[in-house]
Amino acid sequence: MNQLAFALPKAELHLHIEGTFEPGLIFTLAERNGVQLPYPNVDALRRAYAFTDLRSFLDVYYAAMAVLRTERDFTELADAYLSRAREQGVVHVEMFFDPQAHTARGIPFATVIDGLWEAVRTSEARFGISASLIMCFLRDQSEESAFATLDEALPYGDRIVAVGLDSAEVGHPPSKFRRVFERALAEGWKTVAHAGEEGPPAYVWEALDLLRVSRVDHGVRSLEDPRLVARLRDERIPLTVCPLSNVKLRVVDTLADHPLRRMLDEDLVVTVNSDDPAYFGGYIGTNYAQVAQALHLDDAALLTLARNSFEASFIDVRTRDAYL
């Protein structure tokens, strides 16, 4: 086992809290809330984890969320992650959440954010992990729905560090949300966006130029465009790469084919993250360990990845400098 991969203090910057929902907890909450899942038991659910692309994953991911109903459910979901993240070396996490996936089912926005916030605000004291929230808009929903979500979030502005963009990428370019992100920036939120996971490099350009993102989530397809690579390097725009996710969702065939090493060689500010670890076969330490093995990354490369994670984070500058 690569002990350094787990022991290195690191920031997790690309983690969907709903993607940490382990089958055991899914069925516990299903029973507690009297919700019938389309899978009879844990084994049947796990058999559905044979994904062929992003869409095939999202179908299962959204189906499992149906059991999240109360504030306590959301607190328990985040607590389950936070209580185990330290053993992966996580000392800071900026977690995504998908409010529209819950409000569309009739769960009030307040239930979602109050539940998550209870876990997040007490995380440092209980687990030694500073935590913050990034609210994502679902890009396969309308601009109008994103604006309505932004309005609902305004009273909770100080609990949210940034807004992001996720869900089915192809056919839903960042430009669709230019006006929403302009408003979010005007409200003082930072911005990030999934781009270049399945979508083309043009989506990464749009995320930079139209959504003014501080970092790009995934961004692996940026390598297809040398001008884009030069821009990312020159402006030190971080990329939150998720290797095990990319294999599970067939963005790459195997970890040995993953472009992470090329990205490091191009001097990009690349970070390694876990995306939806309950579904993709491992948390962040496992991602570090498995890419180290598959791509023959030495300890110095792992250290660079961990340092990049703090540089790329939204931690306040003085705390951040202590990690660098």
Closest CA to 113 of 130, 129, 132: 132
Residue among 152, 197, 198, 206 flagged as catalytic: 197
Among 275, 278, 286, 306, binds Zn ion (CB under 5 A): 275
Asked about 152 being catalytic, the answer comes back as no
Task: Note the Cα 244 to chain centre separation in Å.
Answer: 13
Instruction: Say if strands 215-218 and 239-241 run parallel, antiparallel, or are unpaired.
Output: parallel
Strands 239-241 and 10-16, sheet pairing: unpaired
Rounded to the nearest whole angstrom, what is the least distance from the CB of residue 300 to ligand ADE in the complex?
28
For ligand ADE, the closer of residues 8 and 139 by Cβ is 139
Q: If contact means CB under 5 to 8 A according to the sort of partner, which of ligand ADE, Zn ion, none does residue 54 touch?
A: ligand ADE
- Rounded Cα distance, 291 and 283, in Å: 12
- Cα 58 vs. chain centroid, distance in angstroms? 13
Q: How many positions of this chain bind ligand ADE (CB under 6 A)?
A: 11
54 binds ligand ADE (CB under 6 A): yes
- Select from 294, 259, 255, 245 the least CA-distant residue to 49: 245
Contact 284, 277 (CB under 8 A): yes
Q: Is 19 an interacting residue with respect to ligand ADE (CB under 6 A)?
A: yes
One symbol per residue from 43 to 72: x for binding Zn ion (CB under 5 A), - otherwise; what is it?
A: ------------------------------
d(CA 178, CA 200): 18
Q: Which of 8, 10, 15, 16 is in the footprint of ligand ADE by CB under 6 A? A: 16
Residues of this chain that bind ligand ADE (CB under 6 A):
16, 19, 54, 61, 166-167, 194, 197, 245, 275-276
Q: Which residues are annotated as a binding site for substrate?
A: 276
